[in-house]
Amino acid sequence: DAGVIQSPRHEVTEMGQEVTLRCKPISGHDYLFWYRQTMMRGLELLIYFNNNVPIDDSGMPEDRFSAKMPNASFSTLKIQPSEPRDSAVYFCASSLTPGGPLHFGNGTRLTVT
């Protein structure tokens, strides 16, 4: 299996622009997670899905963030409008079982200027 695939690897954008991050989970994994990592706050869970349904979005910072999972093999995280404080590495991860090992993608490094 190719593992969790994220795109793009790097994204540099100006404040106010829309940003869309993409993720393809491992086939057969029913759980998909979006995490954000910064030096100050570490790895923070933003939202997770089970069988394409959002289960917990309490970690989404504010209304500027939204996530979708239209099918079992694709998810997006959108930030609109982006702000400099959104700069971070965004990881997508998937797992086979609840509370089980997460398989992480290589992340998207987002820089908002």
Partner 1 sequence: EDKVVQSPLSLVVHEGDTVTLNCSYEVTNFRSLLWYKQEKKAPTFLFMLTSSGIEKKSGRLSSILDKKELFSILNITATQTGDSAVYLCAVGGGGTSYGKLTFGQGTILTVHP
48 touching partner 1, by CB under 8 A: yes
107 binds partner 1 (CB under 8 A): yes
Strand partners, 77: 21, 67
CA 1/CA 27 separation, integer angstroms = 8
Residue of 62, 63, 70, 101 that binds partner 1 (CB under 8 A): 101
Residues 6+ apart with CB under 8 A from 42: none
Rounded to a whole number of angstroms, the minimum distance from the CB of residue 98 to partner 1 is 4
Structure tokens at 85: 């404080």
The answer to whether 15 contacts partner 1 (rule: CB under 8 A) is: no
- Residues in the site for partner 1, rule: CB under 8 A? 31, 33, 35, 42-45, 48, 50, 55-56, 91, 98-107
